[in-house]
């Protein structure tokens, strides 16, 4: 069995893993990155123990998505980028495996998010940022480009 919280519902029910099961697991990791929370956290208040159940109602609204974003990455993303990433997570976390995107579609969506971030045209308004960055902070950040992975033999 997979790690509890990351495994797709159909995998938990049947024990059979598919490429779409991996997409679900990626959606969980993406949601963890967006919110800064663990998938299962019994230290959270009742109703917030399971990240997926807690976050899903927030993920389809621009206003609500911003409320659950990890405060540690505040100002490092555009509002449009946050919403697109949240919608990608929603698609990956679809209960029905056939409703989830295939991994090449996920990669394409992530590349579009990266290009959106590089263009800087939709960066968050600086009046909304809690911590302003100086131009030297921006200059010191380096963007690392990673090679696109080869297609998985599981992806059909």
pTM given for the model:
0.71
Superfamily of domain 9-140: Transferase(Phosphotransferase) domain 1 (1.10.510.10)
Q: Are 51 and 71 in contact (CB under 8 A)?
A: no
CA dihedral over 103, 109, 115, 120, signed as positive or negative: negative
Average pLDDT of adjacent 10-residue blocks, the chain of 156 residues: 72 85 94 92 83 88 88 88 92 95 96 81 40 39 45 41
Nearest Cα residue to 85 out of 98, 76, 96? 76
Are residues 79 and 66 in contact, defined by beta-carbon separation less than 8 angstroms? yes
Non-local CB neighbours of 130 within 8 Å, separated by 6+ positions = 71, 74, 75
Provide the residue ranges of all domains of the chain, joining segments of one domain with +: 9-140
């Amino acid at each position: 069995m997979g790690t509890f919280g990351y495994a797709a519902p159909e995998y938990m029910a049947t024990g059979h893993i598919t490429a779409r099961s991996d997409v679900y697991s990626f959606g969980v990791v993406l949601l963890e990155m967006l919110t800064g929370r663990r998938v299962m956290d019994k230290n959270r208040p009742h109703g917030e123990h399971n990240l997926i159940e807690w976050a899903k109602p927030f993920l389809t609204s621009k206003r609500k998505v911003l409320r659950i974003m990890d405060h540690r990455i505040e100002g490092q993303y555009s509002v449009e980028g946050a919403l697109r990433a949240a919608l990608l997570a929603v698609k990956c976390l679809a209960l029905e495996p056939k409703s989830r995107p295939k991994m090449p579609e996920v990669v394409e969506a992530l590349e579009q998010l990266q290009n959106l971030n590089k263009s800087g045209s939709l960066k968050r308004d600086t009046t909304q940022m809690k911590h302003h960055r100086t131009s030297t902070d921006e200059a010191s950040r380096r963007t690392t480009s990673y090679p696109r992975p080869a297609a998985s033999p599981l992806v059909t």
